């Protein structure tokens, strides 16, 4: 009899947990839709939340911090159960994120971390290791030029930076410059924002091609800007991937296609697919688990035309041939 009562109680508790988990409202403050990466990130998270039967409250801030602040305050007044947040820029979130804390809504940081992260409460954090991605761009480029016998030649590089003030941009730039110290033959002759978009990356590259006739290397802090550079190089009558080496970041499928077509040379992975971590995290938080303050970085790789180029200081991480894995790319 006692066993039966225990079983019934257990089933009742499970039913109560399932009922409360299925009634969750999860709000997501997204930056905008500036790149293929961002579109994949939005789709991945929104679809996964809805697939759980949770109510999704989604806001696209169209690249404006003030829109994100407004959205966060709306989420608070709606009394949502969880807030997913990635900030368009690094600074200026202190006040509104403290308001989220005061409302006792668990905050999950995704993708880009705000600079006030140490002063606020958050339930969990999942994001890219942007400095490491930048280092990989620099190491891949330096080692690639060595591999084609141009390791001693003076190489003129340009950096297409992401959105000014975004961690993904500042940290990638820092990582690139740090890695390039190992390759004194590579000189950065220009560096400017292309705002993580193809539309803004292309004219920046067009202007550089007019100002500097001897560009050898483009380090684009995302693939969209890399593809904008490819279009500008073609329009200038040069051959992208040969006359000018193009390295992107994100590893989106269109970049794989450009690599296979010989127009881009490499892409450094930055996965947008966070739903597998976020959904599991919400379920575990609901079950009473807690997470530490560490930012979880997914495992990522580097892809190029042939494979085998080292992209770290130790020289033991080697690029993967994009053509071998292009069919498995989900975004
Ligand atoms: O924060 C991630 C970056 O933001 C991606 O590299 C870029 O494509 C996006 O817009």
Q: Is the pLDDT of residue 46 over 70?
A: yes
Q: Is the pLDDT of residue 97 over 90?
A: yes
Q: Is the pLDDT of residue 280 over 80?
A: yes
Give me the mean pLDDT over the 36-53 stretch: 98
The separation between the first and the last C-alpha atoms of the chain, rounded to the nearest angstrom, is 55
Residues 137, 249 contacting (CB under 8 angstroms) = yes
Say yes or no: CB of residue 250 within 6 Å of ligand 1. yes
CA 249 to ligand 1: nearest atom: 6
- Look at residue 5 in the predicted model and tell me its pLDDT: 46
pLDDT above 90 coverage of the chain, percent = 93
**Fold category of 130-269+301-328 in CATH:** Rossmann fold (3.40.50)
Handedness of CA 191, 192, 193, 194 (dihedral sign): negative
Say yes or no: CB of residue 267 within 6 Å of ligand 1. no
Report the alpha-carbon distance of residue 146 to residue 310 in Å, rounded. Answer: 11
- Look at residue 146 in the predicted model and tell me its pLDDT: 98
To test the pocket of ligand 1, the residue of 61, 128, 196 to mutate (highest count of ligand atoms within 8 Å of its CB) is 196
Listed by start position, the domains of the chain span 2-122+273-286, 130-269+301-328
pLDDT band at 21 (very low <50, low <70, confident <90, very high): low
Expressed in angstroms and rounded, the spacing between residue 43 Cα and the centre of ligand 1 is 14
Expressed in angstroms and rounded, the spacing between residue 203 Cα and the centre of ligand 1 is 19
Residues 217, 242 contacting (CB under 8 angstroms) = no
Integer CA distances (angstroms), 91 to 41, 158, 183, in order? 22, 27, 33
Residues 295, 109 contacting (CB under 8 angstroms) = yes
CA 272 to ligand 1: nearest atom: 2
pLDDT band at 26 (very low <50, low <70, confident <90, very high): very high
Give me the mean pLDDT over the 63-87 stretch: 98
Q: Is the pLDDT of residue 1 over 60?
A: no
- Look at residue 6 in the predicted model and tell me its pLDDT: 46
Say yes or no: CB of residue 269 within 6 Å of ligand 1. no
| Rg of the chain, C-alpha, whole Å | 22
Lookup: tokens for 45: 């998270």
Label residues 177-211 b or e (16+ Cβ within 10 Å = b): bebbeebeebebbbeebbbbbbebbbebbbebbee
**CATH 3.40.50.2300 for the 2-122+273-286 domain, yes or no:** yes
pLDDT band at 12 (very low <50, low <70, confident <90, very high): very low
- Look at residue 235 in the predicted model and tell me its pLDDT: 98
Q: In whole numbers, what is the pLDDT of the chain averaged over residues?
A: 94
Report the alpha-carbon distance of residue 262 to residue 315 in Å, rounded. Answer: 25
Give me the mean pLDDT over the 100-112 stretch: 98
Strands (E), the chain: 25-30, 55-60, 82-85, 107-111, 124-127, 155-161, 186-193, 217-220, 245-250, 266-269, 295-296, 302-304, 320-321
Q: Is the pLDDT of residue 281 over 90?
A: yes
Q: Is the pLDDT of residue 11 over 70?
A: no
- Do the strands 55-60 and 25-30 form a parallel or antiparallel pair, or are they unpaired? parallel
Report the alpha-carbon distance of residue 82 to residue 77 in Å, rounded. Answer: 13
> Which DSSP string corresponds to 76-110?
HHHT-SEEEE--SSSSS-HHHHHHHHHTT--EEEE
Say yes or no: CB of residue 112 within 6 Å of ligand 1. yes
Residues 110, 87 contacting (CB under 8 angstroms) = no
To test the pocket of ligand 1, the residue of 222, 224, 226, 300 to mutate (highest count of ligand atoms within 8 Å of its CB) is 222
Residues near 213 by Cβ (< 8 Å), separated by ≥ 6? none
pLDDT band at 84 (very low <50, low <70, confident <90, very high): very high
Expressed in angstroms and rounded, the spacing between residue 196 Cα and the centre of ligand 1 is 7
- Look at residue 27 in the predicted model and tell me its pLDDT: 98
Q: Say which residue, 19 or 197, is predicted with more confidence.
A: 197
Q: Is the pLDDT of residue 8 over 80?
A: no
DSSP state of 294: P
- Look at residue 291 in the predicted model and tell me its pLDDT: 95
pLDDT for 120-158, tens place per residue? 999 999 999 999 999 999 999 999 999 999 999 999 999
CA 224 to ligand 1: nearest atom: 8
Claim: this prediction has a pTM higher than 0.85: yes
Report the alpha-carbon distance of residue 193 to residue 164 in Å, rounded. Answer: 7
């Amino acid at each position: 009899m006692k066993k039966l009562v225990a079983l019934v109680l257990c089933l009742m508790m499970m039913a109560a947990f399932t009922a409360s988990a299925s009634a969750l409202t999860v709000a997501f403050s997204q930056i905008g839709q500036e790149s293929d990466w961002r579109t994949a990130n939005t789709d991945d998270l929104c679809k996964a939340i809805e697939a759980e039967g949770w109510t999704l409250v989604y806001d696209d801030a169209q690249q404006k911090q003030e829109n994100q602040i407004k959205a966060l305050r709306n989420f608070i007044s709606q009394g949502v159960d969880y807030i997913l947040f990635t900030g368009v820029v690094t600074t200026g979130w202190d006040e509104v994120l403290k308001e989220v804390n005061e409302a006792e809504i668990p905050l999950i940081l995704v993708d880009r971390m705000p600079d006030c992260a140490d002063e606020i409460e958050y339930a969990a954090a999942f994001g890219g290791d942007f400095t490491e991605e930048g280092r990989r761009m620099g190491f891949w480029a330096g080692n690639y030029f060595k591999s084609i016998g141009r390791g001693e030649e003076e190489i003129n590089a340009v950096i297409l930076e992401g959105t000014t003030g975004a961690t993904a941009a500042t940290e990638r730039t820092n990582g690139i410059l740090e890695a390039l110290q190992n390759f004194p033959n590579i000189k950065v002759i220009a560096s400017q924002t292309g705002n993580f978009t193809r539309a803004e990356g292309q004219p920046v590259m067009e202007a550089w091609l007019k100002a500097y006739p001897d560009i050898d290397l483009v380090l684009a802090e995302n693939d969209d800007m890399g593809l904008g550079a490819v279009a500008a190089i073609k329009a200038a009558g040069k051959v992208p991937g040969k006359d000018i080496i193009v390295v992107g970041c994100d590893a989106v499928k269109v970049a794989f296609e450009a690599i296979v077509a010989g127009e881009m040379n490499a892409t450094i992975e930055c996965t947008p697919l966070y739903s597998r971590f976020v959904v599991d995290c919400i379920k575990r938080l609901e079950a009473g688990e807690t997470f530490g303050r560490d930012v979880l970085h997914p495992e990522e790789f580097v892809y190029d035309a042939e494979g085998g180029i080292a992209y770290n200081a130790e020289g033991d991480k080697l690029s993967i041939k994009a053509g071998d894995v292009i069919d498995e790319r989900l975004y």
